[in-house]
Amino acid sequence: MSPRTHPGAAALAALAGLLADETRAGFLLALLDGRAWTAGELARHAGVAASTTSEHLGKLVAGGLLAEERQGRHRYVRLADARAAQLVEDLAAQAPPTAAPRPRTLGEAGAGSAMARGRTCYDHLAGRLGIAVTDALTGLGLLRQDTGFALTDDGLRWFGGLGVPLVRTGRRPLARACLDWTERRPHLAGVAGAALCRHALEAGWCVRIGSERALKVTDRGGRALSELLGIPEGTLR
């Protein structure tokens, strides 16, 4: 008689199998920018054939990691939800660090530097920008990290004073630690992290640069981060 397996073992093995392919993993990492991509865009990004891309995307959609949308002749895919993004983020951060490929051009070198300096991680701030904001919130007593990430009462009032609503939907936590894969330290995610990132973009504190997830802190953003959080101007630019 074969030993009885846990009822969730088959589902876990199937999920692990979805992630255990370099091309599919590359698609998921690209989609951490929070946007919807066409199959053609992902194929060019990964350097694989359209037929191969379609097969992989079908598996990821069927496995619940991606959601599919059709608009006219175009097929778009995006990460299914914040929980799928969290899974990809956490696994990427836990993976052993590897040496980045040597940049072939000055443009590639600049893009890598920009991503490390500041970027979006699905829908929240990451890189040195995300870490600086998280550290500043903690230092001012607006965020606690000693028993897991949690906004303090002062933190809730700070977001309210900024005019940033914190609306919880589903089971997504108000504040969550997300291990930054370049800084190897946690930055703020969850509802609060997403709301702050959205506000930073809408208020012009940051602008997207290039076709990746990189963000640039504007002069307005530098002043705002200095006044509101005490982050020295110029340190993130």
Please give the pLDDT value at position 197. Answer: 95
Please give the pLDDT value at position 212. Answer: 64
Residue 183 DSSP label? T
pLDDT per residue as tens digits for the range 72-116: 777 889 898 888 888 888 888 777 765 445 545 544 444 457 778
Rounded distance, CA 68 to CA 70, Å? 7
The full set of domain ranges for the chain reads 11-80, 110-229
Please give the pLDDT value at position 181. Answer: 75
Please give the pLDDT value at position 194. Answer: 93
Please give the pLDDT value at position 141. Answer: 96
Residue partners of 108: CB distance under 8 A and separation at least 6? none
Q: What percent of the chain has pLDDT over 90?
A: 47
In terms of Cβ atoms closer than 10 Å to its own Cβ (0-12, 13-18, 19+), residue 106 is exposed
Rounded distance, CA 147 to CA 153, Å? 15
Residue partners of 36: CB distance under 8 A and separation at least 6? 69, 76, 77, 78
Please give the pLDDT value at position 193. Answer: 95
Residue partners of 105: CB distance under 8 A and separation at least 6? none
Please give the pLDDT value at position 103. Answer: 46
Answer whether CATH 1.10.10.10 is correct for domain 11-80. Answer: yes
3-state secondary structure of 217: strand
Please give the pLDDT value at position 1. Answer: 42
CA dist 210 → 4, 63, 164 (Å): 52, 31, 27
Instruction: Label the pairing between strands 119-121 and 215-217.
Output: unpaired
3-state secondary structure of 30: helix
Rounded distance, CA 194 to CA 197, Å? 5
Bin 106: left if φ > 0, else alpha if -120 < ψ < 50, else beta: alpha
* Structure-token match 């073992």, residue found: 9
Please give the pLDDT value at position 108. Answer: 42
Please give the pLDDT value at position 109. Answer: 40
Q: Which residues of the chain have pLDDT under 50?
A: 1, 99-100, 103, 106-111
Please give the pLDDT value at position 53. Answer: 92
